[in-house]
Amino acid sequence: MSLAHGRTYLAIPGPSVIPDAVLQAMHRAAPNIYEGALPDLVDGMIPELKAVARTNGKVAIYIANGHGAWEAALSNTVAPGDKVLVCANGRFGHGWAEMADCLGIETEVMDFGRQSPVDPDRVAERLRADTAHEIKAVLVVHVDTSSSVRSEIAPVRAALDDAGHPALLMVDCIASLGCDRFEMDAWGADLMVTGSQKGLMVPPGLSFVFFNDRAAEARARLPRVSRYWDWSPRSDPEAFYQYFGGTAPTHHLYGLRASLDLIGGEGLEAIWRRHATLARAIWAAAERWGEDGPMRLNIADPAQRSHAVTALRLGAPLGSKLREWTDRQTGVVLGIGLGMSEPDDPKGTGFFRFGHMGHVNAHMVLGLLGTVEAGLKALSIPHAPGGVAAAAEVVAEASMAAEQPDWQDTAAE
């Protein structure tokens, strides 16, 4: 018997759940790409995108996934033969380093393992030793989606400043933007990359590189940048087609418009609070289950955990078994353990992940946790009971702690 028929929940950390408003906005005939409503639509979105990134810098939009933004960021700032320092604490840090390596950039990886954030002291020490200033950029992943660790960005800026080091600070916010608080200008990031299909709730296919004047100066010093990746015409277009280096991604842009309306309607601070509360509900459930049995959150310290994705360990092969069960029996698809191989488990089948980014609310999270609790029971995986109840308590307390709960406003209207 399967209980999976009905609306499914793709609870993987990207692509995330696409709001109906975004899907409906995309369901239409193609517009004129030369003049009229579409160019106006994009001009109007640029300031809103920068507001979500908390920057007064510029943005270049690419018809690409996050990997494209990685390549664009490097192509506009670092020449082949130059050196970058990549802080890695999961699959995506290593992935960005591989991208740099393939561009002919000398790539030094500072590995923080898969359970710890970036240690700014280690970065500072390395930068102080680089008296010749050979390192042109420091690359940090704000939230590494494979390990679900979140690193502080401002202390890395401080490490650069204290060392008097001119390297650019480049941050991957592909998993975190629109979920975890991120302040590009206030935290001193020179460049930030993100994609459309996670916190921005749009299908995969758009990515964004935000950059400040320091990064633009690095671009100006390069002898050449490939025509397609060059961010100069994209961020300062004299003609609409220059935004996209060709035909605009018409339908993604309608989707993005709808997504920015949702973000503007809720408010970025409220969005960050929602993600934080729902993440705490998930942690409460996982911690309760783990009181008796193998369930463990990959990141021990709550202050170092993402609010958008949670990596958990059950031990091989139980992570995969649980994923199969929730998919077949309940209509919930959990994320795989990505880059989490262990000596006796090369495929990382001991791990699984919850994606809780973007268009996700309390009932979805409580439903998600309920299906997992049922799966633990059905598969006879030892666990302490009461995980869902612990999560419900977090949700209830958050609503009681709010001075004027949102739902009271709604009820009064």
Annotated binding site for substrate: 353
Cβ contact 351:310 at 8 Å: no
Cβ contact 85:61 at 8 Å: no
b/e burial code for range 338-358 (CB count within 10 A of at least 16 → b): bbbbeeebeebbbbbbbbbbb
Taking the least distance from each CB to ligand PLP, the nearer of 200 and 372 is 200
Taking the least distance from each CB to ligand PLP, the nearer of 73 and 105 is 73
Taking residue 239's Cβ as centre, other Cβ atoms within 10 Å add up to: 9
Shortest separation between residue 89's beta carbon and ligand PLP, angstroms: 11
The Cβ-side half-sphere exposure at 80, using a 13 Å CA radius, reads: 7
Cross-strand pairs, 312: 297, 352
What separation in angstroms does the CA of 274 have from each of 271, 277, 394? 5, 5, 12
Site for ligand PLP in 9-68 (CB under 6 A): 14, 65-67
Residue whose structure tokens are 């494979």: 146
Cβ contact 310:148 at 8 Å: yes
The window from 71-79, 172-180, 257-265, 344-352 that contacts ligand PLP (CB under 6 A) reads 172-180
Single-letter code of the amino acid located at 246: G
Shortest separation between residue 296's beta carbon and ligand PLP, angstroms: 22
- Residues making up the annotated binding site are 353
Taking the least distance from each CB to ligand PLP, the nearer of 306 and 371 is 306
Taking the least distance from each CB to ligand PLP, the nearer of 48 and 98 is 98
The answer to whether residue 174 forms part of the interface with ligand PLP (CB under 6 A) is yes
Taking the least distance from each CB to ligand PLP, the nearer of 208 and 231 is 208
Site for ligand PLP in 108-167 (CB under 6 A): 141, 144-145
Taking the least distance from each CB to ligand PLP, the nearer of 13 and 375 is 13
Taking the least distance from each CB to ligand PLP, the nearer of 289 and 351 is 351
Number of residues that bind ligand PLP (CB under 6 A): 13
What separation in angstroms does the CA of 408 have from each of 58, 153, 264, 396, 402? 39, 36, 21, 14, 11
Shortest separation between residue 377's beta carbon and ligand PLP, angstroms: 31
Rounded Cα distance between 89 and 185, Å, is 23
Shortest CA distance to 156 belongs to which of 177, 138, 174? 138
Shortest separation between residue 360's beta carbon and ligand PLP, angstroms: 16
Shortest separation between residue 381's beta carbon and ligand PLP, angstroms: 27
Shortest separation between residue 202's beta carbon and ligand PLP, angstroms: 11
CA angle 330-332-334, nearest 5°?
135
Site for ligand PLP in 182-241 (CB under 6 A): 195, 204
Residue whose structure tokens are 């206030």: 186
Site string (85-114) toward ligand PLP, x via CB under 6 A: -------x----------------------
Positions in the binding site for ligand PLP (CB under 6 A): 14, 65-67, 92, 141, 144-145, 172, 174-175, 195, 204
